[in-house]
Amino acid sequence: AQSVTQPDIHITVSEGASLELRCNYSYGATPYLFWYVQSPGQGLQLLLKYFSGDTLVQGIKGFEAEFKRSQSSFNLRKPSVHWSDAAEYFCAVGGGEKLTFGTGTRLTIIP
């Protein structure tokens, strides 16, 4: 069965600092991997996705993620966070109709 682990429930970073959110997955074949962001009171918005090809994928809002098959990881990174990046971030894996989500990482930004 497919599964996603986001080991960090809550992360706090200073504005302007770099960010890395961890995601590990379990999937029987080549996975489709996603990162979504959920701002308070909002629906989920797709940040980026990996299907195949280049293992470093670029997304919206300056985010990127790297697929590492050997580590079953798909970590999300941003070189310099902005206060508006404060939100809940979800990693997801899927290969067909159903996406399986992690439990999310809440990101707090301090001035």
Partner 1 sequence: GAGVSQSPSNKVTEKGKDVELRCDPISGHTALYWYRQSLGQGLEFLIYFQGNSAPDKSGLPSDRFSAERTGGSVSTLTIQRTQQEDSAVYLCASSPDRATNEKLFFGSGTQLSVL
What are the residues binding partner 1 (CB under 8 A)? 4, 6, 32, 34, 36, 41-46, 49, 51, 90, 92, 94-104
Beta bridge partners of residue 51, listed in sequence order: none
- The DSSP secondary-structure symbol of 22 reads -
* Minimum CB distance to partner 1, residue 103 (Å): 4
Q: What CA–CA distance (Å, rounded) separates 105 from 88?
A: 6
**Nearest CB to partner 1, comparing residues 4 and 81:** 4
CA distance 12 to 48: 22
Q: Tell me the closest approach of the beta carbon of residue 71 to partner 1, in angstroms.
A: 20
